[in-house]
Amino acid sequence: MSVRYLTARLAQQIDEELMGPAGAFSLDQLMELAGLACAQTLAKVYGKDKYPRVLVCCGPGNQGGDGLVAARHLGMFGYQPTIYMPKPGSKDHYKRLQIQCDNMKIPTLPPSSDVEALKRVLGSSDVILDAIFGFSFKGPIRSPFDSTLPLLTESKLPIVSVDIPSGWDVERGNAEGVGLNSDVLVSLTAPKEGVRHFTGRHFLGGRFIPKSLEGKYELNLPHYPGFDQIVELPSAQKL
């Protein structure tokens, strides 16, 4: 049986159960596992010899937290990440993740960076990790992100997106045509309905799902090889 694609409501429900009595995970644990899977995906597709400079774009929510964790791991993998947060998160766990990256000497662009500053850092980057919007995103795209996304697209750099490309609706995909056209996607827990027709390389990073929840929601998750935190799924081009 093929892996199950999740609606927004079902994805939220599973997240709540993971952090409730059934899963007993903390938010920090899930972010650490998700961010590690994202870093491993980027490293698998874009080797550091050819793509050492990674621009990690983080939104203010949990998606951005995953990106900060990924930036830290990429630094440990030998990449040269730079963090860009158009609007930094305000919660304590987000601030702790920022400190962890600071302690790794990972540079962060000031939130007030103007368009020219972002263009300059894009010009000296090799690949983008998109951790701006997650599955709870609802349009329209507002400032400051309405100017950020077009610049990422115009850069022509390869883009790895976390869970769903930023600007896509969790169930309707890039129906409005304003989202990123990512080259690689790493879905977390299980893929979302909106990415059924994603044509790039598609990975799953959800090796933290308990067997009880996998069975309850009939997720039909694939086998993860060896000790990898990710597994590649067939893209829409291959279906």
Query: Residues 6 or more apart from 143 whose CB is under 8 A from it?
Result: none
Largest distance between two CA atoms of the chain:
50
163 is in an annotated binding site: yes
Q: Would the CA dihedral through 179, 201, 104, 118 be positive or negative?
A: negative
**Annotated binding-site residue? 140:** yes
Task: Confirm or deny that 179 is annotated as ligand binding.
Answer: no
Does 182 appear as a known binding residue? no
Quote the CA–CA distance of 173 and 195 in Å, as a whole number. Answer: 6
226 is in an annotated binding site: no
The letter for the amino acid at 66 is D
Q: Is 134 annotated as a binding residue?
A: yes
Contact 36, 162 (CB under 8 A): no
Q: Is 78 assigned to a binding site? A: no
* Residue partners of 36: CB distance under 8 A and separation at least 6: 69, 70, 73, 205, 229
Q: How far apart are CA 179 and CA 117, in angstroms?
A: 22
| 139 annotated binding-site participant | yes
Q: Is 169 annotated as a binding residue?
A: no
Annotated binding site for (6S)-NADPHX, which residues?
Answer: 62-66, 134-140, 163
Annotated binding site for K(+), which residues?
Answer: 63, 130, 166
Annotated binding site, which residues?
Answer: 62-66, 130, 134-140, 163, 166
